[in-house]
A and B are shown apart, each in its own frame.
Chain A
């Protein structure tokens, strides 16, 4: 299942639908970086609201996405982590270190707008 990547001004928004397979995640990783290059985006928001479980592979992939995108000089914000998922993640030690997070899409955009002082 392909993850739709939408362009919002200088940002890209990728919204996860429910369960993503490992292949989907790998595809997303490449896809996002390619899009960042293509549109010269300043930041990517990955919305995981629909994910009700987060395993170590998904967590590592998100971290890798953030690192790869940072190499392109862009920022990543993960938004919409559910309380139960957050709880499970910290218990497993998957902390998404070094990656910015926000409550939801609105907060994520507010954070980025603040950071870049961009008016869309």
Chain B
């Protein structure tokens, strides 16, 4: 009944109706509280007490449990990229944060810690499976310790675990996700850097532009290059553009198509494109995708490309003096 009340839509009258119904809800809940506390209700209150109890136990045995954890870590050959001292230092703070997270359920703090930890250890070459691995090991070490303590009282052990397990699993999840997010952030950052490595559009003669491309071109970068080039053609009133791809090792079919489109779009702006520096692999790709080579003006290297461009523009280069 409570559920259907909550699903009312928000019209003006609906809102007024909702307000009165919320008031009714409160009366309903208040009435419930006055009734005899049912056993269900009693059990759901215990977890926080149990949590406090197990957290106290974990704190008391901190030194021993942490030692055990570090031993398990080296047994399973995790964190081989770090030294024993580094592992111990990190283990201490991870342990304390873990227990604190169990207690306060303040996962924002743990999330921030996880991200911070990732920032420090990712550059050292620690893998995701190692991070997840050590968090799960800690969870196991602490669980075993709880088994040992409450082994005589099975019912209590179950209730303790009911309190411990969801919290511990959330922690493992949070740390793993934090780690992965940090890696993704680094990857995005590097992608940006590669994109910025681009590609100045350079004017080397009147009406002649050169676009030297270096590195990996993904479809997004290819698109960016095209837009930059077309704007450059218009700004510099270029009639010839030399696109040099000596620095590009390989090109997939999508990017090769982008290149062809760039050539065609440039033509629509009245500019001729000369492509230079095609590697054997790229030449193969272009032939494979069936590019109409009649449309593409290609020359072996940049020097040849510039010479041809100059011819197209009516320049002639003549030596006027002996080189000194």
Q: CA–CA, A41 to B311, complex, Å?
A: 31
Contact residues, A68-112 vs B (CB, 8 A): 78-79, 81-83, 86-87, 89-91, 95-96, 101-103, 107-108, 111
Q: Which residues of A contact B234 (CB under 8 A)?
A: 82-83, 103
Q: Check A101 against B230 for contact (C-beta < 8 Å).
A: no
Residues of B close to A83: CB separation below 8 A: 227, 230-231, 233-234, 265, 269
Complex interface: chain A residues within 8 A of B239 (CB):
103, 107
5 contacts between A and B (CB under 8 A): A83-B227, A95-B264, A96-B268, A103-B237, A107-B270
Say how far A106's CB is from chain B's closest CB, in angstroms.
9
> Cβ of A95: which chain B residues have Cβ within 8 Å of it?
264, 267-268
**Contact (Cβ within 8 A) B237 A101:** no
Count residues of chain A with CB under 8 A from any CB of chain B.
Answer: 18
Residues of A within 8 Å of B264, CB to CB, are 90, 95
Distance in Å: Cβ of B291 to nearest Cβ of chain A: 13
Min CB–CB distance B176 → chain A (angstroms):
41
A87 and B270 contact, CB distance less than 8 A:
no
Let me know if A91 and B269 touch, CB within 8 A: no
Which of B231, B266, B267, B270 has most chain A Cβ within 10 Å? B270
The number of A-B residue pairs with CB atoms under 8 Å apart is 51
* Complex CA distance for A101 and B262, rounded to whole angstroms: 15
B261 within 8 A of A: yes
Question: Judging by beta carbons under 8 Å apart, are A89 and B270 in contact?
Answer: no
Contact A81 B268 (CB under 8 A): yes
> In the bound complex, how far is the Cα of B234 from the Cα of A69, in angstroms?
27
- Other than A86-B268, A103-B234, A103-B239, give 14 A-B pairs with Cβ distance below 8 A: A78-B268, A83-B227, A83-B231, A83-B265, A83-B269, A86-B230, A86-B269, A89-B265, A90-B261, A95-B264, A101-B269, A103-B233, A103-B271, A107-B237
A101 and B267 within 8 A (CB): yes
Please tell me if the beta carbons of B269 and A87 are within 8 angstroms of each other in the complex. no
Chain B residues contacting A108 (CB-CB under 8 Å) are 270
Chain B residues at the A interface, C-beta cutoff of 8 Å: 226-227, 230-231, 233-234, 237, 239, 261-262, 264-271
Residue of B nearest to A79 (CB): B270
Residues of A in contact with B (beta carbons under 8 Å apart): 78-79, 81-83, 86-87, 89-91, 95-96, 101-103, 107-108, 111
Q: Please state if A81 and B226 are interface contacts (CB–CB under 8 Å).
A: no
Verify B230–A87 contact, CB threshold 8 A.
Answer: yes
Contacts of A82 in B (CB 8 A): 234
Kindly state the separation between the CA atoms of A81 and B268 in the bound complex, as whole angstroms. Answer: 7
Q: Measured between alpha carbons, how far is A83 from B262 in the docked complex, in Å?
A: 11
A108–B270 Cα distance when bound, in Å, is 9
Q: In the bound complex, what is the Cα–Cα distance between A11 and B273 (angstroms)?
A: 28
Complex Cα spacing A89 to B231, Å: 15
With contacts A83-B230, A87-B227, A87-B230 taken as known, whether A103 is within 8 angstroms of B265 at the C-beta atoms is: no
Query: Which residues of B have CB within 8 Å of A103?
Result: 233-234, 237, 239, 269-271
Please tell me which one of the listed residues A90, A91, A102 contacts residue B270 in the complex, with CB atoms under 8 A apart: A102
Given the complex of chains A and B, what is the CA–CA distance between A78 and B270 in angstroms? 9
In the complex the two chains form, is B269's CB within 8 Å of A81's CB?
yes
For the complex of A and B, 6 pairs with smallest distance between CB atoms: A83-B230, A102-B270, A86-B265, A86-B268, A103-B270, A90-B261
